[in-house]
Amino acid sequence: MRICSSSTTVLALSLGFPTGHAQHGRWDVKNFKSLVTFGDSYTDENRLGYFINHNGSAPPVGWEQPVGLNTASGGLSWSRYASIYSGASLYNYAVSGAVCSNAITPRWFSAINAPFPDIAGYELPAFIADSQYRLPNGTRFFKGTPHDTAYAIWIGTNDLGNNAFLTDSQVPGKTLVDYVDCVYTTIDKLYKNGGRYFVLMNLAPLQLLPQYAVPSNGGLAATQYYPNKAGSNITEISWRMYESVATANAIYQYRTPFEVSSSWDDVKIANFDVNALITDIWSHPKEYLNGTTPANVTGIVHQCNLKGGDCVKNTSPDSYLWYDELHPSEQADRVIAREFVGVLGGKSKWATYWD
């Protein structure tokens, strides 16, 4: 097991977890031929679009998902860039609007007359079905094996947001612990299906998004994704979001070694601190953003009214951290993808490795 920080090492020792040796060779980007991703609009290419265009019906088993050229980033998603940068084939099951489980934070989507498809009820079962599917010619649809496939999970933006935990809209009795339980249950089911390499991406600094930021950081009174925010205490909303993100990410940090020690043999998990990475972009934008205008971490590329109309797009999108009120820009996604590939390489400063 490789541990990146002294505080984490002390915790592991105190709890009796094995500690100590770096095993960089077990994480090597050239070993990964397949990348399987789960999540929401931060990762989706066009899976939600299939539901919309087929009266709410899910894609069939063995669906070949096309490359999404205009995702929530305004361009390619980080998942597609990670596939390009690493050379791994991408199997992307993320759905825009998704939460980990609709049994915890269901969010209705009128375009399909149902809740947004979630990880527990749709994304995970869809992958497992695909992993067992054979094409008409007899070959396997999913080409990955336990030792050349990396599984990435990045979920929580919708779980913690408005119409969910932020506005006390979760199923009565459900807490952030249930949300985190869902993430580890997903890993457990993937493990039982043969998965051995996992990248768990923690929550982005949602309190910095224009949708949830304080006014001094570009926070907006209302947005197309949160129109009924108008009249609310923006600062209170931002700090509540910050507290939720910090709490969930702390659970991720300390629960992973427990699960590895007690639940799974021969598993390798990298906790990718994408929160710290995006915060670093926000704090040092000139080191990451490379558009033709000054770096901007409070404004957005794509500005629309509260109904999603009358949109205006900035002419230098690579100067911005945020594409719109809720989503990172394509340039931010390139950075996330680049660092994700570094995580697969086994030596990322943004990751803690457990095995």
Q: Where are the chain's structural domains?
A: 28-206+216-274
Give the span between the Cα atoms of 72 and 300, in whole angstroms. Answer: 13
Predicted pLDDT at 26: 82
Rounded to 10 degrees, the C-alpha dihedral 293/299/301/303 comes to -140
Tell how far CA 18 is from the center of its chain.
28
List, for residues 227-239, the tens digit of each pLDDT value: 999 999 999 999 9
303 three-class SS:
strand
Tell whether the torsion through CA atoms of 18, 20, 24 and 25 is positive or negative. Answer: negative
**296 is written with which tokens?**
């901007």
Q: How far is residue 138 from each of residues 134, 141, 146, measured CA to CA in Å?
A: 5, 9, 20
Per the CB < 8 A criterion, the answer to whether 309 and 230 are in contact is no
Tell how far CA 207 is from the center of its chain.
16
Looking at the DSSP assignment, which residues form a beta bridge with residue 271?
200, 352
pLDDT tens series, the chain, 355 aa: 444 443 343 344 344 443 333 444 489 999 999 999 999 999 999 999 999 999 999 999 999 999 999 999 999 999 999 999 999 999 999 999 999 999 999 999 999 999 999 999 999 999 999 999 999 999 999 999 999 999 999 999 999 999 999 999 999 999 999 999 999 999 999 999 999 999 999 999 999 999 999 999 999 999 999 999 999 999 999 999 999 999 999 999 999 999 999 999 999 999 999 999 999 999 999 999 999 999 999 999 999 999 999 999 999 999 999 999 999 999 999 999 999 999 999 999 999 999 9
Predicted pLDDT at 286: 98
pTM as predicted: 0.93
**CATH H superfamily, domain 28-206+216-274:** SGNH hydrolase (3.40.50.1110)
Q: How far is residue 303 from each of residues 241, 312, 327, measured CA to CA in Å?
A: 23, 5, 12
DSSP code of residue 223: B
**What contacts 274, CB < 8 A, 6 or more positions away?**
154, 201, 202, 204, 336, 339, 350
Helix or strand holding residue 269 (H, E)? strand 268-272
Predicted pLDDT at 22: 40
351-354 and 320-322: which strand pairing?
A: unpaired
